[in-house]
């Protein structure tokens, strides 16, 4: 992907496109460089997914720190960033959650202009269906909380939902649609474009993006990080940021501490492409299914995590059956579609289903993990907050409530109960 048609030192514009068209597109440079690692960096970020790249970008943009290596065991954006259903929303109940996700949404709204890279952000609107009396009470409670948080959401009736989405069956025999929580600003973005845009911007600031560079060990001395050992040699660093989603517990163990997370596979699938019929993002938490339509016409479908800990990135047939069975009553037209492809990603789940952005027992090591199934929507806000934490050595307002100490103190940010679903 490093040969994406862009110029790491130039700027996208209609004039650049016209110029390259005249010379048969021979002048485009690689979007980012792929150097060999230096002996030492001020900051090493493990994980070249959306969160890791966003952290590096905002370290450079907001704090002027560019002596950074972003190392990745595989290829850039090949983990959860490229393996999700691209949902973006900020209608959370708890104040800390709403704050960091709405920061992310506000950054998403101008991210293409900020990065000079089209992330294909589509604020098409997001609708969370209420299909039980319990969900009606819960979602109305969230509307009131969002009003206090200055996050725009509204309660919509079944009749309004049918007008917005004609393909929906609101009179299902088991789970009729009783209303919904609607966020007009919610939507989707192109997942890999988000990673590529951040990578291009980081490379332009002089940061090193090093792929195929798996971490094999973390060196510490006197309670302070010293270096990471990798497939490409030893790299010294003053600060180390671990941003590797489902593999966070593995990396933490290398550094000598444990994290309160478990890793599970989250599966998704897309149908064959069809004509436009769904211009909203739909979440049906009672039956646990999510639905949107991609720009290419595919119906993007996701569900819940596997019921057991694993590190699989493949799909399974029983999960397809469970997820599609949950949705076909509400969207009967899905039953006539063929599946095009299926995949899985490794998510990291905390006990309260909220993330960890924190210092650790080892000096100079910072961790960003525990986003569960809500990681993609948080990328810009997560990077913004994590950059502040790494640069200053202490969390700012966005990350303050998400420290590791909350699990010892019983200070949970319980979004699992609030949303009735992981995220």
Q: Give me the number of domains the chain comprises.
A: 3
Q: Does one domain contain both 180 and 223?
A: no
> How far is it, in rounded angstroms, from Cα 357 to Cα 403?
6
Percent of the chain with pLDDT strictly greater than 90 = 80
Mean pLDDT across 115-139: 95
With respect to residue 279, please indicate whether it lies within any of the assigned structural domains: yes
Tell me what pLDDT residue 305 has: 86
- Is pLDDT at 303 greater than 90 in this prediction? no
Q: Does one domain contain both 42 and 172?
A: no
With respect to residue 165, please indicate whether it lies within any of the assigned structural domains: yes
Q: Which long-range contacts (CB under 8 A, 24 or more apart) does 332-338 make?
A: 332/169, 333/167, 333/277, 334/271, 334/291, 334/299, 334/301, 337/271, 337/272, 337/274, 337/299, 338/271, 338/272
Mean pLDDT across 76-105: 95
With respect to residue 381, please indicate whether it lies within any of the assigned structural domains: yes
CATH number at residue 302: 3.30.9.10
- pLDDT band for 224, please (50, 70, 90 cuts): very high
Q: Does one domain contain both 24 and 46?
A: no
Q: Does one domain contain both 156 and 202?
A: no
CATH number at residue 195: 3.50.50.60
> How far is it, in rounded angstroms, from Cα 176 to Cα 47?
42
Residue 12: DSSP 8-state: -
Tell me what pLDDT residue 417 has: 54
- Is pLDDT at 418 greater than 60 in this prediction? no
Query: Which has more confidence, 4 or 200?
Result: 200
Tell me what pLDDT residue 357 has: 98
Sequential DSSP letters for 107-170: HHHTHHHHHTS----B---EEEEE-SHHHHHHHHHHHHHHHHHT---EEE-HHHHHHH-TT--T
Tens digits of per-residue pLDDT, 28-49? 888 898 899 999 999 999 999 9
- Is pLDDT at 8 greater than 70 in this prediction? no
- 129 torsion bin: left (phi>0), alpha (psi -120 to 50), beta (else): beta
As to burial, measured by CB atoms within 10 angstroms (0-12 exposed, 13-18 middle, 19+ buried), residue 322 is middle
- Is pLDDT at 163 greater than 50 in this prediction? yes
Tell me what pLDDT residue 314 has: 82
Q: Does one domain contain both 281 and 368?
A: no
Q: Does one domain contain both 196 and 165?
A: no
- Is pLDDT at 113 greater than 60 in this prediction? yes
Collect all residues with Cβ–Cβ distance below 8 Å to 305 and sequence separation of at least 6. 264, 265, 266, 347, 349, 373, 422
- pLDDT band for 2, please (50, 70, 90 cuts): very low
Q: Does one domain contain both 25 and 48?
A: no
Mean pLDDT across 221-242: 97
Tell me what pLDDT residue 307 has: 83
Q: Does one domain contain both 53 and 159?
A: no
Tell me what pLDDT residue 319 has: 81
Contact criterion met (CB below 8 Å) for 156 and 182 = yes
Q: Which helix (H) or strand (E) holds 187?
A: strand 187-188
Q: Does one domain contain both 153 and 16?
A: no
Mean pLDDT of the chain: 92
Lookup: tokens for 16: 């650049």
Tell me what pLDDT residue 9 has: 53
- pLDDT band for 282, please (50, 70, 90 cuts): very high
With respect to residue 417, please indicate whether it lies within any of the assigned structural domains: no
Tell me what pLDDT residue 1 has: 38
Domain that holds residue 276: 126-186+263-349
- pLDDT band for 287, please (50, 70, 90 cuts): confident
Q: Does one domain contain both 267 and 256?
A: no
Tell me what pLDDT residue 3 has: 38
With respect to residue 224, please indicate whether it lies within any of the assigned structural domains: yes
- pLDDT band for 279, please (50, 70, 90 cuts): very high
Lookup: tokens for 115: 């990065």
- Is pLDDT at 22 greater than 80 in this prediction? yes
Sequential DSSP letters for 343-355: EEEEEEEETTS--
Q: At what angle do helices 191-204 and 50-63 cross, to 10 degrees?
A: 40
Percent of the chain with pLDDT strictly greater than 70 = 96
With respect to residue 255, please indicate whether it lies within any of the assigned structural domains: yes
With respect to residue 22, please indicate whether it lies within any of the assigned structural domains: yes
Tens digits of per-residue pLDDT, 307-340? 888 888 888 888 888 888 889 999 999 999 999 9
Q: Does one domain contain both 47 and 146?
A: no
- 31 torsion bin: left (phi>0), alpha (psi -120 to 50), beta (else): alpha
Q: Does one domain contain both 277 and 316?
A: yes
Mean pLDDT across 134-155: 95
Q: In sequence order, what E strands does 21-102 have?
A: 40-46, 68-71, 87-88
Q: In sequence order, what E strands does 249-401 have?
A: 261-271, 281-284, 289-293, 299-309, 339-350, 356-359, 365-369
């Amino acid at each position: 992907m490093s040969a994406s048609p862009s110029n790491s030192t130039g700027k996208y514009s209609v004039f650049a496109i016209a110029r390259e068209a005249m010379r048969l597109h021979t002048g485009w440079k690689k979007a980012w460089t792929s150097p060999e690692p230096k002996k030492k960096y001020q900051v090493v970020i493990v994980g070249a997914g959306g969160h890791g790249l966003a952290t590096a970008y905002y370290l450079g943009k907001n704090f002027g720190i560019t002596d950074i290596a972003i190392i990745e065991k595989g290829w850039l954006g090949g983990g959860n960033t490229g393996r999700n259903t691209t949902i973006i929303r900020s209608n959370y109940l708890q104040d800390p959650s709403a704050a960091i996700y709405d920061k992310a949404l506000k950054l998403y709204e101008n991210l293409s202009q900020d990065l000079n890279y089209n992330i294909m952000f589509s604020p098409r609107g997001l609708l969370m269906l209420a299909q039980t009396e319990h969900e009606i009470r819960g979602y109305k409670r969230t509307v009131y909380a969002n009003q206090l948080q200055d996050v725009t959401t509204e309660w919509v009736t079944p009749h309004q939902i049918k007008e917005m989405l004609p393909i929906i069956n609101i009179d299902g025999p088991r789970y009729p649609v009783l209303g919904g929580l609607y966020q007009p600003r919610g939507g989707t973005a192109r997942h890999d474009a988000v990673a590529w845009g951040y990578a291009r911007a980081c490379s332009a600031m002089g940061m090193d993006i090093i792929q195929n560079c798996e971490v094999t060990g973390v060196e510490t001395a006197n309670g302070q990080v010293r270096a990471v050992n990798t497939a490409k040699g030893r790299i010294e660093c003053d600060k180390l940021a671990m941003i590797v989603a489902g593999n966070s517990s593995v990396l933490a163990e290398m550094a000598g501490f444990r994290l309160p997370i478990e890793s599970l596979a989250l599966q998704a699938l897309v149908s064959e492409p069809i004509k436009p019929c769904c211009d909203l993002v739909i979440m049906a938490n009672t039956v646990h299914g999510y639905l949107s339509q991609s720009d290419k016409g595919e119906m993007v479908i996701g569900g819940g995590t596997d019921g057991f800990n694993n590190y699989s990135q493949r799909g399974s047939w029983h999960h397809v059956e469970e997820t599609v069975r949950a949705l076909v009553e509400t969207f009967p037209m899905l039953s006539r579609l063929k599946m095009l492809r299926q995949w899985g990603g490794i998510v990291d789940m905390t006990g309260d289903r909220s993330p960890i952005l924190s210092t650790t027992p080892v000096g100079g090591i910072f961790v960003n993990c525990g986003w569960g199934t809500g990681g993609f929507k948080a990328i810009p806000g997560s990077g913004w907050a994590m950059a502040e934490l790494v640069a200053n050595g202490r969390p700012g307002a966005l990350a303050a409530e998400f420290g590791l100490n909350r699990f010892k103190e019983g200070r949970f940010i319980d979004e699992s109960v609030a949303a009735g679903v992981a995220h």
